[in-house]
A and B are shown apart, each in its own frame.
Chain A
Amino acid sequence: MLDLTPKEITKRKALRINPAKTCQPIGAMYASLGIHGCLPHSHGSQGCCAYHRSHLTRHYKEPIMAATSSFTEGAAVFGGGANLRQALKTMFTVYDPEVVAVHTTCLSETIGDDLPSLIKKAAEDGIIPKGKTVIHTNTPSFVGSHVTGFSNMTRSMVRYFSRENGETRELINIIPGYVEPSDMREIKRLSAEMGIKSVVFPDTSDVLDAPQRGRLELYPKGGVTTKELRDTGEAAATLALGGFASEDAAIELERKCGVSYELLDLPIGISATDRFIQAAIDITGKEPPASITDDRGRVVDIMTDMLQYLYGRKVALFGDPDHLISMTEFVKDLGMKPVHVITGTPGKKFERRIKALLKDTVPDVNVRSAADLFLMHQWIKNSPVDLLIGNVYGKYIARAEDIPFVRFGFPILDRIGHSYFPTVGYAGAMRLLEKMVGAILDRKDRDDPDEHFELVM
């Protein structure tokens, strides 16, 4: 397994090996699926769209519908305007979406297709039926990562839909970040339990966790509606969860409609969830019901009961920056030592944030943005860990180095659960604790000699 990875680390300037990120459009496609009645559209060659659909399908085990402009060489030379017009005609005739959310690819970005003008022209020419909306976002993959694409499409939702009519409603916006349908559902549940009226956008719950009913819903019942998106402009405030995936949309909403926002970390783990609940209290003046405080208590209960298996353990984490910031804090709260932390997404502020979080407990943490799993593996070879936390690609390193492994983040292509069980909120914290303790104890059970093989742990 990964036998050719040397322990010795050489500096690389050009070669990316085993990336810890992917490209922008897939994030944009995922975000688009969180609009009700939306057909995502990839403006470029058809290969990108095929890859993005396949990858999201492997992660969700659900239909991922999206169309493509199917560029051929002619379009690459002369621009993809004609392809987009044809695509819009075909989509509205055959698939009748309420919204088409167009994102670009490296090809259409390199060509420089001007999407706003193309869309405007299509509307003037009657290619976009009355009452239907075509939105767009630019997602060049030579900038940022899949997280950036998600963020860009979410910001486009604001640009195209949010309206302000001078009134402020008793409503808050929650931008949940690049999280799972289960997480979005949990965020809605928490806000409803607190008696808060909120718009969560994008919202892929009831889209990418759709039930088996024996019939295909091209547009499942979930997703934020265009009306709800319009209302975001009249909300009292916005909670943006995760600086990398959600802040841009919140800034846009403040700029466009004057809705002030508060930036929070993704509510993963106990401290970040506490801050989320506290912010909701501060903004709305509503008290959380006892059920939420009880759930919190249950998390702390597990923490106190299981600390002997977690305390002092070294952990390596990789994945998307917003997830990692909260998860690093959580494992720190558990008394563990996050010694290696890597994201593929570029951003020095990520490194600063992780260092700040760990300055008292792991001052010499290895942290790097715009890094890859090859480096992570080498770091682990040089300084071994007790637990690896990350997306599915971690299983290769875990096997090569024989380390307990907890799947966390995007993508998870080889297990189910992430669509159905949240990692956010106190419920999510309990689930993460169960997974971490389980992974560590399974390993102990595997390695213990017979005479030490314990019934009670």
Chain B
Amino acid sequence: MSEQALSNISRINPEDLLEEIVRSYPTKVARKRRNHMLVRNPDEPQQIQANVRTVPGIITQRGCCYAGCKGVVIGPIVDMVHIVHGPIGCSYYSWMTRRNLGKAREDGQNYLQYCFSTDMQEENIIFGGEKKLMAAVEEAYEIFHPKAVSIHATCPVGLIGDDIQHVAKMMSEKLGIDIIAFNCEGYRGVSQSAGHHIANNGLFEKVVGKDDIEEEGFTVNCLGEYNIGGDAWEIERVLERCGIKVMSTFSGNGSYDEMRRAHMASLNLVQCHRSINYMAEMMETAYGIPWIKVNFIGVKAMSKSLRKIAQFFDDPALTERVEKVIAEEEERALKGIEPHRERLDGKTAFLFVGGSRAHHYQDLFRDLGMKTVVAGYEFGHRDDYEGRQVLPNLKLDADSKNIPEIEVRPDPERYRPRKSPEVLEELKRKGLIDNYEGMIPDMEKGSIVVDDISHFELERLIETLKPDIVCSGIKDKYVIQKMGVPSKQLHSYDYSGPYAGYEGAVNFAREIDMLVNSPAWSMITAPWEKTPLLKAVPNKV
């Protein structure tokens, strides 16, 4: 099958394929969609359209701003009560569905199994819901005594004009705990992405930088790591072996207390650039913490990321330890992958996920000998595709303008450069810190990139290119499988994991092997449909 897939790809002119696909759209839609697609050509500068409105009616993968704020960034914080202000659905659907795992710290506070909502009723929509929200916060306080509460606005709240910021302020004064409100109404921006930004702003302003407890040694924060299936724990395991201490994670298994101390770390590691780059930048400006882009997905990628960290700290003992850990872990992981690699080598994959995984998993597939032939983000921006050098040229459109940018200055007491200006300059020049090159440069000539893919485009690409596996989300999983093609959910990991780090890579290899090579796929056609009818007729009855 895989050889067939590769030959399909080389036989078909990808540019023609994309043209043919968009031809099925109404003319204006076709023009719009074509700008979201390209065929990778390393020989020329390439630009893609991203982070703009989805065409209504197109069957998109995308969700809303609220999903990005509460669902992605804030919800995983284990020791806060997250109250959703709105009708019941929004809160209900984001209740334990994303698999951001978490454990209580010593104080025993873990709210991940709970779903809180103001469950607005008609009278709240007509007469306003502020009173109900206040009462809800108070009731939550009386029952649980949490140390902090978040409030999330859903679509109708913005429209009826409830001032959730005001409620948060008043209730915070009354109860003496932090209450942070997020105006993440679903219609803001064009996707989950707007919500990430709003969440970053809130955390930065209200949580980070409030507790100055110092930690010794090589300290980092993991930014944009959500602990799906336990990823963060595997990353932490490896970092700890190297002697690197994770002070806080934003936000998988995240803790409010730890986030308050995040500004004391020496370095920020950015895993998902899309959802958290704002935080990395703001912390650098305010506290002088540089950030490096890491990718903990894939054996080689993991080692490369560890070496980057060692390079930053520039400490011989640490470097030695890191190399030792890499040697041991790589050996074990590669051995674990080997039998699977034999069965997967040369196979092809599509990747349509989120705002970073479509890039990250290409490294892991390379470890398995597999080739990513089509990839795209659900809500990435141009910098996630093309690299951060495009940032100065990005124009804000009407949909992005309404997401507040906060002005950040160096904190008068807490700003502390982690290296001398010369060294920082040098690290920047080398591209080690404050840099992300994006997904497109990593893709091979002739591969296809599609942003915010629609159901129709996905179906046509699968039919034509017949990949061996398609990685996407829950809404696509069974659509793809009904076409006889295995699908891996890369948001929820098909209820498995971890996939990050060395042990994660082995898990992933095993599962891709299982998905692709399961005997079930060969049973789709009934025996009597395969046999010519004549042969099946002998008069046995």
B89 and A22 contact, CB distance less than 8 A = yes
Knowing A58-B474, A396-B113, the reply to whether A214 touches B58 (Cβ < 8 A) is no
- Asked if A16 lies at the interface with its beta carbon under 8 angstroms from chain B, I say yes
Q: Which residue of B lies closest to A374 (CB)?
A: B114
Which of A70, A74, A111 has the most B CB atoms < 10 Å from its CB? A70
Q: Is B122 an interface residue (CB 8 A)?
A: yes
Does the CB pair B477–A4 fall under 8 Å? Answer: no
The residue on A at minimum CB distance from B119 is A16
Taking CB atoms and an 8 Å cut-off, the chain B residues in 379-424 that contact chain A are 398-399, 402
Q: Which of B154-162, B236-244, B291-299, B355-363 contacts A (4 or more CB under 8 A)?
A: B154-162
Q: Are A1 and B113 in contact (CB under 8 A)?
A: yes
On whether the beta carbons of B159 and A110 are closer than 8 Å, the reply is yes
Q: How large is the interface on B (under 10, 10 to 19, 20 to 34, 35 or more residues)?
A: 35 or more
Select which of B64, B86, B119 is within 8 A of A50 by beta carbon: B64
What residues on A are CB-neighbors of B187 within 8 Å? 45, 71-73, 75-76, 107
Q: In the complex, what distance in Å separates the CA atom of A63 from the CA atom of B142?
A: 43
Per-position 1/0 for A311-328, Cβ under 8 A of B: 000000000000000000
Q: How far is the CB of B336 from chain A (nearest CB, A)?
A: 28
Query: B19 within 8 Å of A by Cβ?
Result: no
- The reply to whether B57 and A86 contact each other, CB–CB distance below 8 Å, is yes
B87 at interface by CB-CB < 8 Å: yes
B91, CB-defined interface residue at 8 Å: yes
Question: Please, which residues of chain B bring their CB within 8 A of the CB of A213?
Answer: 482, 524
CA distance A51 to B525 in the complex (A): 33
Give chain B residues whose Cβ lies under 8 Å from the Cβ of A90. 25-26, 29, 55-58
Contact residues in A for B456 (Cβ distance below 8 Å): 94-95
- CA gap between A10 and B91 in the complex, in Å: 22
In the assembled complex, the CB of A281 is this many whole angstroms from the nearest CB of chain B, namely 39
Q: Does A366 contact B (CB under 8 A)?
A: no
Across the interface, which residues of A come within 8 angstroms of B199, CB to CB? none
Q: How far is the CA of A16 from the CA of B133 in the complex (A)?
A: 11
Q: Is the CB of B57 within 8 A of A14?
A: no
B48: interface (CB < 8 Å): no
Query: Chain A residues near B118 (CB, 8 Å)?
Result: 14-16
Q: Are A15 and B139 closer than 8 Å at their CB atoms?
A: yes
Binds A, one of B104-112, B227-235, B257-265, B499-507: B104-112
Please tell me if the beta carbons of A76 and B475 are within 8 angstroms of each other in the complex: no
Total chain A interface residues with beta-carbon distance under 8 A = 82
Give the chain B neighbours of A87 by CB distance below 8 A: 56-57
Cβ-defined contact, A46 with B92, below 8 A: no
A74 to B479, CA, bound (A): 32
Nearest-Cβ distance from residue A213 to partner chain B, whole angstroms: 7
Of A2, A3, A17, A210, which is in contact with the most chain B CB atoms at under 10 Å from its CB? A17
Complex CA gap A213/B482 in Å reads 7
In the assembled complex, the Cα of A19 lies from the Cα of B136 at a distance in Å of 14
Minimum Cβ distance to chain A for residue B475 (Å) = 5
Partner of A107, one of B24, B156, B459: B156
User: What separation, in Å, do the CA atoms of A57 and B475 have in the docked complex?
Assistant: 6
List the A side residues contacting B277 at CB < 8 Å. Answer: none
Contact B140 A142 (CB under 8 A): no
B83 touches A15 (CB 8 A): yes
Residue of B nearest to A107 (CB): B155
Rounded to whole angstroms, the CA-CA distance of A429 and B66 in the bound complex is: 42
CA distance A99 to B23 in the complex (A): 23
**Distance between Cα atoms of A134 and B187 in the complex (Å):** 25
**Which chain B residues lie closer than 8 Å to A88 at the CB level?**
57
- The yes or no answer to B88 lying at the interface (CB within 8 A) is yes
- Closest Cβ–Cβ distance, residue A134 to chain B (whole Å): 12
| Chain B CB within 8 A of A303 CB | no
A68 proximity list for chain B (CB < 8 A): 56-57, 60
Min distance, Cβ A218 to any Cβ of chain B, angstroms: 8
Q: Does B116 have its Cβ within 8 Å of any Cβ on chain A?
A: yes
Interface assignment of A91: CB less than 8 Å from any CB of chain B: yes
Instruction: Give Cα distance in the complex from A109 to B154, angstroms.
Output: 13
Complex CA distance for A73 and B479, rounded to whole angstroms: 31
**Contact residues in A for B325 (Cβ distance below 8 Å):** none
| Contact pattern, A 66-101, Cβ under 8 Å of B = 1, otherwise 0 | 111111111110000001101111110111000000
Cα(A70)–Cα(B60), bound, Å: 9
On whether A3 and B186 interact (CB within 8 A), knowing A16-B88, A16-B116, A73-B399, the answer reads no
Cα(A105)–Cα(B158), bound, Å: 14
Query: Which residue of A2, A46, A66 contacts B54 across the interface (Cβ within 8 Å)?
Result: A46
- B residues near A52, Cβ cutoff 8 Å: 93
- Complex contact B139–A18 (CB within 8 A): no
Contacts of B110 in A (CB 8 A): 3-4
Q: Give 1 or 0 for each of A1-28: 1 = CB within 8 Å of chain B CB.
A: 1111010001011111111011111100
A142 vs chain B, min Cβ distance (A): 5
Select the residue from B87, B110, B125 with max chain A CB neighbours within 10 A.
B87
- A140 proximal to B (CB < 8 A): yes
Q: Is A93 touching B160 in the complex (CB atoms < 8 A)?
A: no
- Of all chain A residues, the one with the shortest Cβ separation from B159 is A110
Is B53 located at the chain interface by the 8 A CB criterion?
yes
From A4, A12, A57, A91, give the contact of B114 (CB < 8 A).
A4
Please report which residues of chain A, range 113-140, place their CB below 8 angstroms from some CB of chain B when the two chains form the complex: 140
Contact B481–A212 (Cβ < 8 Å) = yes
- The closest CB in chain A to the CB of B402 belongs to A73
Known: A16-B118, A45-B64. A57 touches B477 (CB 8 A): yes
Task: Name the interface residues of B182-217: CB closer than 8 Å to any CB of A.
Answer: 185-191
Given A15-B135, A107-B159, check contact A23 B55 (CB 8 Å).
no
Is A355 an interface position by the 8 A CB rule?
no
Q: Are B186 and A107 in contact, CB atoms less than 8 angstroms apart?
A: yes
If A1-B113, A89-B26 touch, whether A66 touches B59 (CB-CB below 8 Å) is: yes
> B402: which A residues are within 8 A, CB to CB?
73
Q: A14-B139, A72-B189, A73-B399 are in contact. Are A86 and B155 (CB under 8 A)?
A: no
Quick one: given A70-B56, A216-B479, are A25 and B83 in contact (CB under 8 Å)?
Answer: no
> In the complex, A136→B111 CA distance in Å?
38
Q: Are A111 and B117 interface neighbours, CB within 8 A? A: no
Q: CB-CB < 8 A to A17: which residues of B?
A: 114-116
CA distance A13 to B118 in the complex (A): 9
Q: Which of A13, A89, A106 has the most CB of B within 10 A?
A: A106
Q: Is A302 an interface residue (CB 8 A)?
A: no
In the complex, the answer to whether A51 meets B155 with C-beta atoms within 8 Å is: no
Digitize B265-283: 1 where CB-to-A-CB distance is under 8 Å, 0 elsewhere.
Answer: 0000000000000000000
> What A residues does B115 contact at CB under 8 A?
16-19
A106 to B454: give the CA distance in the assembly, Å: 24
A62 surroundings in chain B (CB, below 8 A)? 478
A141 contacts the other chain (CB 8 A): yes
B348 in contact (CB, < 8 A) = no
Q: Is A41 an interface residue (CB 8 A)?
A: yes
Complex CA–CA separation, A111 to B185 (angstroms): 14
Q: A439 interface residue, CB < 8 Å from B?
A: no
> Does B143 belong to the interface (CB within 8 Å)?
yes
Subset of 24 A-B contacts with CB under 8 Å = A2-B113, A4-B110, A14-B135, A14-B138, A15-B135, A16-B88, A17-B116, A19-B92, A22-B93, A23-B87, A24-B89, A54-B473, A54-B474, A55-B93, A65-B479, A72-B53, A73-B398, A86-B55, A94-B57, A106-B87, A106-B125, A141-B88, A214-B524, A396-B113
The 9 closest A-B CB pairs, nearest first, are: A47-B64, A23-B89, A87-B57, A90-B57, A14-B135, A214-B484, A87-B56, A51-B93, A16-B119
Q: A73-B399, A76-B159 are in contact. List 11 more A-B contacts (CB 8 A).
A: A4-B114, A10-B142, A18-B114, A23-B92, A47-B65, A47-B67, A57-B478, A63-B479, A94-B454, A105-B155, A142-B124
Interface of B toward A, CB cutoff 8 Å: 24-26, 29, 53-67, 83, 86-95, 97, 104, 108-111, 113-122, 124-125, 132-136, 138-140, 142-144, 154-156, 158-160, 185-191, 398-399, 402, 454-456, 459, 473-475, 477-479, 481-484, 524-525
Which residues from chain A sit less than 8 Å from chain B, CB to CB? Answer: 1-4, 6, 10, 12-19, 21-26, 41, 44-48, 50-55, 57-58, 61-76, 83-84, 86-91, 93-95, 105-107, 109-111, 140-143, 145, 210, 212-217, 344, 374, 396
